[in-house]
Amino acid sequence: METVFDQQCAVHIGEGCLRAADEIPIRRQGRTCVLVCERHAAPLILPPLMENCPRLSKLPLYYLDASEPGKQIETLLPLWHEWARDGLDRHTSVILVGGGVLCDMGGFAASVYKRGIPFYAIPTTLLAMADASVGGKTAVDLGEIKNILGNFHRSEAVWIDPVFLKTLPRNEFLSGAAEILKMQFIGNPGLSFAELEKCLDPGTFPLSLLHFAIAEKARITGIDFYEENIRKTLNFGHTFGHAFEALALKQNRPIAHGQAVAHGMVCELYLSCLLAGCPKHLFVQTARLINRHYGIFRYGKEDIPELLGYMLNDKKNRNGQIFPVLLQDAGKSLYTESVGTDPLLQTLNTYPFNTDLD
Ligand code: GLY
């Protein structure tokens, strides 16, 4: 087991590390703990959890309907009602067990209940392991606007055990893999496309890339928890990605967050070639890789104003200006340059890109 730190939050990673989560102080100095588990994935999640953590299996268990379309504040109301009914007080800690939506929503639920109670995270999807469970961002959507309600509430500790990946559906695997790719693009000047290719196949998935993503995320959020500078780089692929996700949700064809980020990264690499001197081969190789594994995100010309509208509503904007993350090269990101609407429209009008021309 390897442990990295996001300030005082210990992030434990490795096969078998789940057993150590059973040591969470569940009853100490008047403190108690409860579990919150994702409802639809509970049959897959609970058996390995209970087998590895027999003490936790005795805790009160709450379920949350944590799905992408249900990532709304209304979904949290029954949970808060249950907590209040059962007398959870400010000394109660919550243990979140589930994927990225569960971590975002459960963290938000804990962050405002009685003005904030502590929580631990046991992520069970690749997306939650590589991104959502580390760094203390909590969120729910407002209608289709992604993650616009939320705050920063760091967890007490995180246990990331690949045991849960054995039963992960393929689309969820690919969704998480996109965040791992993202970390390679922003954090690894020597990234290898052969490794990225392996990362997109559960049979050859290199755990070393998951470790890298988690360690980088913990390092970055340890330096800049409130996203005033370097943490912004973690939004690579998300300006377009969130717009794609929002459009898909609005059109009743929701796509997984990481799938949207994968398409968003291709668009932001195209933009990086236009505006930041990114080498064309990085864009072309990435576009081919993403097209092969994720296909393309379909939208019509008539959807472009709406996509731009979502970008104009992005949380990262300042004074109405959009700040996508651009790459000068692998491992070299820019996050301080605002981008006008013309290059964004050019990108949206050109997508899906012709990658034969290199
Ligand atoms: N998912 C990006 C961040 O945590 O900052």
Tally of CA atoms within 13 A in the half-sphere of 304 that contains its CB:
14
pTM: 0.95
Which residue's alpha carbon is nearest to atom 2 within ligand 1?
234
- Every domain of the chain with CATH number 3.40.50.1970 lies at 2-167
- State how far Cα 45 lies from the chain centre: 19
Distance separating the N- and C-terminal Cα atoms of the chain: 43
pLDDT at residue number 129: 98
**Per-residue pLDDT tens digits for 264-285:** 999 999 999 999 999 999 999 9
Specify the pLDDT at position 340: 93
Ligand 1 pocket mutation, candidates 9, 103, 137, criterion most atoms within 8 A of CB: 137
CA of 225 to the centre of ligand 1 (A): 10
Tens digits of residue pLDDT in 138-156:
999 999 888 999 999 999 9
C-alpha 217 to ligand 1 mean position (Å): 8
pLDDT score of 314: 84
Residue 234 alpha carbon to ligand 1 centre in Å: 5
CA of 132 to the centre of ligand 1 (A): 7
Q: Could you give the CA distance from residue 33 to residue 27 in angstroms, rounded to a whole number?
A: 7
Q: 170-350 has which CATH code?
A: 1.20.1090.10
| Cα–Cα distances in angstroms (integers) from residue 346 to residues 325, 339, 353, in the given order | 17, 12, 11
Residues of the chain with pLDDT under 70: 28, 357-358
Question: Vertex 94, ends 55 and 209: CA angle to 5°?
Answer: 85
For ligand 1, atom 5, name the residue with the nearest CA. Answer: 234
Residues 6+ apart with CB under 8 A from 150: 104, 108, 137, 138, 139, 140
Q: How many of the other CB atoms lie within 10 Å of CB of 27?
A: 10
Contacts of 219 (CB under 8 A, 6+ apart): 4
Give the burial class of 320: count Cβ atoms within 10 A of its Cβ; 0-12 exposed, 13-18 middle, 19 or more buried.
Answer: exposed
Q: How far is CA 235 from CA 1, 5, 99, 142, 179, in A?
A: 28, 21, 19, 19, 10
Determine contact, residues 152/136, Cβ cutoff 8 Å: yes
Topology of the domain covering 2-167:
Rossmann fold (3.40.50)
Beta-bridge partner residues of 34 = 94
The 10 Å Cβ neighbour count of residue 153 is: 18
Place of tokens 């939050």: 9
Query: Ligand 1: distance of its center to the CA of 235 in Å?
Result: 6
Atom of ligand 1 nearest to the CA of 235: 2
Query: Which class for 275: exposed (0-12), middle (13-18), buried (19 or more C-beta within 10 A)?
Result: middle
Predicted confidence at residue 357, as pLDDT, reads 58
| One-letter amino acid for residue 110 of the chain | A
Please give the Cα distance from 339 to 246 (Å, whole number).
21
Per-residue pLDDT at 320: 85
Using CA atoms in the order 4, 257, 272, 350, what is the torsion angle rounded to 10 degrees? Answer: 170
**% of residues, the chain, pLDDT over 90:** 92
Distance 26 CA to ligand 1 centre (A): 29
Q: Which amino acid, 256?
A: A
| Ligand 1 center from residue 127 Cα (angstroms) | 11
Q: Which amino acid is at 72?
A: Q
For residue 199, what are the CA distances in angstroms to 178, 180, 190, 245, 289?
Answer: 9, 8, 16, 23, 11
Q: Computed over its alpha carbons, how large is the radius of gyration of the chain?
A: 20
Atom nearest to 179 CA in ligand 1 = 1
> What's the CA-to-centroid distance between 13 and ligand 1, angstroms?
18
Q: Which atom of ligand 1 is nearest to the CA of 231?
A: 5
- Out of 6, 186, 234, 265, mutate this one to test ligand 1's pocket (max ligand atoms within 8 Å of CB): namely 234
As for ligand 1, residues whose beta carbon falls within 6 Å of it are: 131, 135, 137, 231, 234
Quote the tokens at residue 126: 């690749």
pLDDT at 358: 53
Contact 239, 268 (CB under 8 A): yes
| CA-to-CA separations, 156 to 118, 135, 227, 340, 353, in angstroms, rounded | 7, 11, 19, 40, 43
Q: What are the phi and psi torsion angles at 85 (to 5°)?
A: -60, -40
Minimal-distance CA residue to ligand 1 atom 3: 234
The Å distance, Cα 85 to ligand 1 centre, comes to 33
Identify the pLDDT of residue 337.
85
Write out the H or E segment, with its range, that includes residue 78.
helix 73-85
